[in-house]
């Protein structure tokens, strides 16, 4: 496989963060990409510690040294198990800013972090910090929640046919080149409730539903051809309903081990796949989530 760009994995040494580091190492081995393992000591926590104990207290030095040893030990394990080169980076300050700056310095092709961390990584994934990171970065973000035992084998690609969809497929092919892809589009009849309220008969609404499904199937096939997916490499899943609910349902029903989302929906005001859908999939789903943050031009 052709080498990809650098991979940046962040860790706080929690169990989920170790899963993320293992997945990042596997991807580095599979793609021939350099891996950087990063730990950030949160600036707010350090400031609070200094307020209580005073600047330069021995406890701070012991914490820094303990983190350094854990980082080195984790890096050495990844080197040995996955036969890769791992660079380590230690920093302190604003976690979001430090990660973004390091990603820029490396020109990272992928950011990897755990779905449930201890402290800052938990807030990073589940809180407003993750949204700010995704809004500001043009780099794909992989949120790991499973223990990685093998390469990704079955990937659910959530498509809304926005400019982000093509790039989402491209990134997914990099992360899971040998997987079977499920191309999912959740369609709805526009303004169905209002149509019913306005007295539009059921037969007419059902006609619209058939049209919406047929159009979605056509667009899924066109996108598969556009992105170079081969017959036998993918299957279509065109289903009616709310996107966030259908993604989680199909992820589980089809035994997928990765869900791929584009950054935005059809318009900047919707923020469809960055906002409510991503939050729902992270909260209710059971598999890893890859958010592609670039759009086709």
pLDDT, tens digit, for every residue of 241-292?
889 899 999 999 999 999 998 865 444 333 434 456 777 787 788 899 998 8
Q: How many domains does the chain have?
A: 2
Of residues 59 and 146, more confidence is placed in: 146
Query: 105 pLDDT exceeds 60?
Result: yes
Evaluate if pTM is beyond 0.75: yes
Phi, psi of 271, deg, nearest 5: 50, 40
Of 144, 175, 209, which one is at a domain's C-terminal end? Answer: 144
Q: What is the mean pLDDT of residues 174-183?
A: 95
Same domain, 135 and 177: no
- 16-38 burial by CB neighbour count: b if 16+ within 10 A, else e? bbbbbbbbbbbbbbbbebbbbbb
**Non-local CB neighbours of 70 within 8 Å, separated by 6+ positions:** 13, 39
Query: 46 pLDDT exceeds 70?
Result: no
Same domain, 118 and 174: no
3-state secondary structure of 144: strand
Residue 297 lies in a domain: no
Range of the domain at 188: 154-292
Residue 261 lies in a domain: yes
Same domain, 126 and 245: no
What is the DSSP-derived secondary structure letter of residue 157?
E
Same domain, 168 and 113: no
Q: Report which of 238, 254, 237, 250 is spatially closest to residue 284, judged by C-alpha positions.
A: 250
Lowest mean pLDDT of 53-67, 114-128, 158-172, 243-257, name the range: 114-128
The domain spanning residue 209 has which CATH number? 3.40.50.620
Residue 264 lies in a domain: yes
């Amino acid at each position: 496989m052709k080498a990809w760009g650098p991979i940046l994995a962040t860790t706080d040494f929690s169990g989920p963060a170790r899963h993320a580091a293992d997945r990042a190492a596997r991807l580095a081995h599979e793609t021939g990409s350099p891996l950087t393992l990063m730990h950030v000591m949160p600036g707010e926590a350090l400031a609070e510690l200094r307020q209580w104990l005073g600047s330069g207290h021995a406890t701070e030095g012991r914490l820094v040294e303990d983190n350094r040893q854990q980082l080195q030990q984790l890096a050495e394990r990844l080197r040995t198990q996955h036969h890769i080169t791992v660079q380590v980076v230690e920093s302190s300050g604003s976690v979001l800013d430090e990660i973004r700056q390091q990603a820029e310095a490396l020109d990272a092709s992928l950011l990897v972090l755990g779905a449930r961390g201890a402290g800052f990584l938990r807030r990073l994934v589940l809180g407003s910090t993750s949204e700010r990171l995704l809004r500001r970065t043009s780099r794909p973000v992989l949120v790991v929640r499973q223990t990685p035992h093998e390469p990704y084998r079955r990937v659910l690609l959530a498509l809304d046919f926005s400019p982000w969809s093509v790039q989402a497929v491209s990134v997914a092919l990099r992360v899971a080149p040998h997987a079977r892809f499920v191309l999912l589009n959740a369609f709805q009849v526009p303004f169905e409730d209002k149509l019913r309220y306005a007295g539009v008969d059921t037969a007419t609404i059902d006609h619209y539903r058939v049209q919406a499904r047929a159009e979605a199937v056509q667009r899924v096939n066109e996108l598969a051809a556009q992105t170079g997916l081969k017959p036998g490499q993918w299957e279509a899943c065109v289903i009616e309903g709310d996107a966030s609910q259908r993604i989680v349902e199909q992820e589980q029903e089809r035994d997928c081990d990765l869900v791929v989302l584009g950054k935005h929906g059809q318009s900047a005001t919707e923020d469809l796949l960055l906002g409510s859908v991503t939050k729902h999939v992270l909260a209710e789903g059971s598999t890893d989530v890859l958010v592609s943050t670039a759009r086709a031009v």
